[in-house]
């Protein structure tokens, strides 16, 4: 009588184990095994972190194994179970791996294929084709699009975190981590003690020191010491948390009438302002997005304001970026131009207004819209259009981890009506919604391609701007990511025709554009991909947006290149992962060496600090 040895791994996260009944059925090309209860006498099966083995005996050989069917039935009370993977040793001694990485909730079942990745055109039998189609049909009923606000990217159809599919909810450990991090942030900022500072006018610059009294490290102390100085103000546009606004200025806009006479004292090369622009030494930051956005008025006792400033910056002989002119609004008739030659506090306050506006755009557009919400769009389309056996699903799933959950939490607690934004942000009370709606009109597919984004702002010349570490490190990580994606894609797509014939990948690309981005004409997202190179760039955008770009403006946990859940089992893919990790290690070493001795080290894009996904 043939015997199959089945090994099942239960997850390590809290409450992953179960006391419910677990049944297994092995499905082969010739026949199926009987439905078998997996239960050892006097043994507690399927405990958290356990790896349990069982013998499944059959009356005849099953042929080539096609599926493993798992069923969970209630024992006493419903007890959810997280299965990591299953391995099966056949009577001939072969080992087959069946990745799962799913929760079985209530009385439920899951049918798994072995871990090899297949494109839809490579499935030949009706049995596997039907399984593939059924998985997608089920997913599309669960993962539905919803417009949270008009003009926003589409999001998941869930109002609360608990309404999400169990597989994409925070696990208990991550949920506790989220709560502790939130509490720690509140404690560090002493918000409970100093909340009145956010809701009333500050009377002294020393209030800044009170806010940051518990955040102690070398960088924060250096910034606190030098934050009023022009060189620090300029440096933050290059390597701060929002290094995507600064662009080279070849011609002043009519709305910003800075004259040579105004700024000549700030220019060091005995050139006119026009000549400095021609030489590539003038840069500009325009916060036009904030023009017309409503300021927070949720508290009638507290007046709040927003500015839409324009700031002119100059690269001096030391190649430092220095502010030389600031206009706090878009209309020059109503807004004077502030200069470094003005009184100390007039100039300082002008810079503070610019930094405040930079913060509003950073939090709402650079961070929330262009990383969180965009990654959610890619994630929902992935779940709806790519089955677990598809190689692109296996490639992307680690980079989507917890993104939909954190975004749902944000819509539930942070950016909702009466949420944290309304209580502590000048764009709260609806301004943040207007800002995203406005920013969506300039969000294009190409603007998510890192090299294109840098080039569009004329910031790509390393010799002209040698201290733009966000650009330099970003180039390296983008290239390493693209190489990795290319290595994986080339294993399954050996020619352009293979891409064109893949109905699922085409449906994924179309779903992002037609539903996720609501087919907005201005977004210019592709509706199809025709070549391997186009697919490689697209998937690089997804991975880079979810990991590296988010890291540059925020931070998280599971780092880039770490894939603890082995969705891929093929040796060539594992070799590609190892090559990717090696490249990332080399980049981390380069950045660490460059940062040695720097008072302001830049490590936001060091791969050993880049989380795999948008999870915070």
- Identify the three-state secondary structure at position 135: helix
Residue 607's nearest CA partner among 594, 592, 595 is: 592
Q: How many CB atoms lie within 10 A of CB 320?
A: 16
The answer to whether 550 is annotated as binding is yes
The answer to whether 597 is annotated as binding is no
- Please tell me the distance from the alpha carbon of residue 552 to that of residue 609, in angstroms, as a whole number: 10
Q: Answer whether 111's CB lies under 8 Å from 69's CB.
A: yes
Q: How many CB atoms lie within 10 A of CB 162?
A: 10
Inter-residue long-range contacts of 232-237, CB under 8 Å, 24+ positions, other chains counted: 233/322, 233/323, 233/351, 233/354, 233/355, 234/313, 234/320, 234/321, 234/322, 234/323, 235/320, 235/321, 235/467, 235/600, 236/355, 236/358, 237/283, 237/285, 237/313, 237/321, 237/358
CA distances, 188 to each of 178, 209, 287, 407 (Å) = 15, 12, 29, 23
Residue 534's nearest CA partner among 568, 503, 499, 569 is: 499
How many CA atoms within 13 Å lie on the side-chain side of 294?
12
Q: For the residues of 159-203, what is the DSSP string, one character each?
A: SSGGGS-GGGSPPHHHHHHHHHHHHHHHHHTTHHHHHHHHTS---
How many CA atoms within 13 Å lie on the side-chain side of 187?
6
The answer to whether 331 is annotated as binding is no
The answer to whether 80 is annotated as binding is yes
Residue 148's nearest CA partner among 379, 450, 369 is: 369
- Please tell me the distance from the alpha carbon of residue 586 to that of residue 279, in angstroms, as a whole number: 35
Residue whose pair of structure tokens reads 């306050």 in the numeric block: 349
Query: What is the torsion angle, in degrees rounded to the nearest 10, for the CA atoms of residue 368, residue 371, residue 375 and residue 378?
Result: 110
Q: Answer whether 391's CB lies under 8 Å from 117's CB.
A: yes
- Identify the three-state secondary structure at position 493: coil
The answer to whether 226 is annotated as binding is no
Residue 52's nearest CA partner among 28, 17, 78 is: 17
Per the rule left: phi > 0, alpha: psi between -120 and 50, beta: everything else, 292 is: left
Annotated binding-site residue numbers for Fe cation: 367, 372, 550
Output the known binding site for Ca(2+). 17, 39, 79-80
Output the known binding site.
17, 39, 79-80, 367, 372, 550
């Amino acid at each position: 009588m043939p015997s199959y040895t089945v090994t099942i791994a239960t997850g390590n996260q809290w409450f992953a184990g179960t006391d419910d009944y677990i049944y297994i059925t092995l499905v082969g090309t010739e026949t199926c095994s009987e439905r078998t209860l997996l239960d050892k006498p006097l043994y507690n099966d399927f405990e958290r972190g356990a790896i349990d083995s069982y013998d499944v005996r059959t009356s005849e050989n099953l042929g080539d194994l096609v599926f493993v069917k798992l069923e969970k039935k209630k024992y006493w009370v419903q007890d959810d179970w997280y299965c990591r993977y299953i391995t099966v040793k056949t009577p001939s001694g072969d080992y087959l791996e069946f990745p799962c990485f799913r929760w079985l909730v209530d009385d439920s079942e899951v049918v798994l294929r072995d871990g090899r990745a297949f494109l839809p055109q490579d499935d030949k039998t009706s049995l596997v084709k039907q399984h593939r189609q059924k998985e997608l049909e089920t997913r599309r009923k669960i993962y539905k699009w919803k417009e949270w606000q008009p003009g926003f990217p589409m999001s998941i159809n869930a109002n609360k975190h608990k309404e999400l599919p169990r597989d994409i909810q925070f696990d208990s450990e991550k949920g506790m981590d989220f709560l502790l991090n939130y509490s720690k942030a509140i404690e560090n900022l002493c918000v409970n003690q100093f909340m009145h500072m956010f809701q009333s006018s500050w009377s002294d610059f020393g209030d800044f020191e009170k806010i940051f009294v518990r955040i102690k490290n070398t960088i924060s102390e250096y910034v606190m010491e030098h934050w009023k100085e022009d060189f620090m103000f300029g440096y933050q546009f290059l390597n701060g948390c929002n290094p995507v606004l600064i662009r080279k200025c070849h011609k002043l806009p009519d709305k910003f009438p800075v004259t040579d006479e105004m700024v000549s004292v700030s220019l060091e090369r005995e050139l006119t302002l026009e000549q400095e622009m021609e030489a590539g030494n003038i840069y500009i930051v325009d916060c036009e997005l904030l023009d017309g956005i409503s300021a927070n008025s949720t508290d009638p006792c507290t007046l709040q304001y927003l500015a839409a400033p324009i700031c002119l910056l100059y690269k001096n002989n030391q190649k430092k970026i220095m502010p030389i002119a600031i206009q706090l609004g878009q209309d020059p008739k109503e807004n004077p131009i502030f200069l470094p030659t003005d009184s100390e506090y007039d100039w300082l306050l002008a810079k503070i207004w610019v930094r405040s506006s930079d913060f509003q755009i950073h939090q709402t557009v650079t961070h929330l819209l262009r990383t969180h919400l965009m990654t959610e769009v890619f994630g929902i389309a992935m779940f709806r259009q790519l089955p677990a056996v598809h190689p692109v699903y296996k490639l992307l799933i680690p980079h989507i981890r917890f993104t939909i959950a954190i975004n749902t939490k944000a819509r539930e607690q942070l950016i909702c009506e009466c949420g944290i934004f309304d209580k502590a942000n000048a764009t709260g009370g609806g301004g943040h919604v207007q800002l995203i709606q406005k920013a969506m009109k300039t969000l294009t597919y190409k603007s998510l391609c890192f090299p294109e984004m840098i080039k569009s702002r004329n910031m790509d010349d390393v010799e002209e701007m040698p201290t733009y570490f966000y650009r330099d490190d970003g180039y390296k990580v983008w290239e390493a990511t693209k190489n990795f994606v290319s290595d994986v894609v080339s294993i399954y797509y050996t020619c352009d025709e293979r891409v064109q014939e893949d109905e699922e990948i085409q449906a994924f690309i179309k779903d992002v554009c037609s539903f996720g981005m609501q087919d907005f004409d201005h977004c210019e997202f592709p509706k199809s991909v025709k070549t391997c190179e186009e697919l490689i760039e697209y998937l690089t955008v997804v991975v880079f947006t979810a990991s590296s770009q988010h890291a540059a403006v925020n931070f998280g946990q599971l780092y880039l290149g770490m894939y603890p859940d082995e969705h891929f089992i093929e040796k060539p893919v594992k070799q590609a992962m190892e090559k990717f990790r090696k490249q990332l290690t080399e980049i981390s070493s380069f950045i660490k060496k460059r940062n040695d001795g720097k008072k302001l080290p830049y490590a936001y894009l060091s791969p050993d600090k880049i989380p795999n996904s948008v999870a915070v």
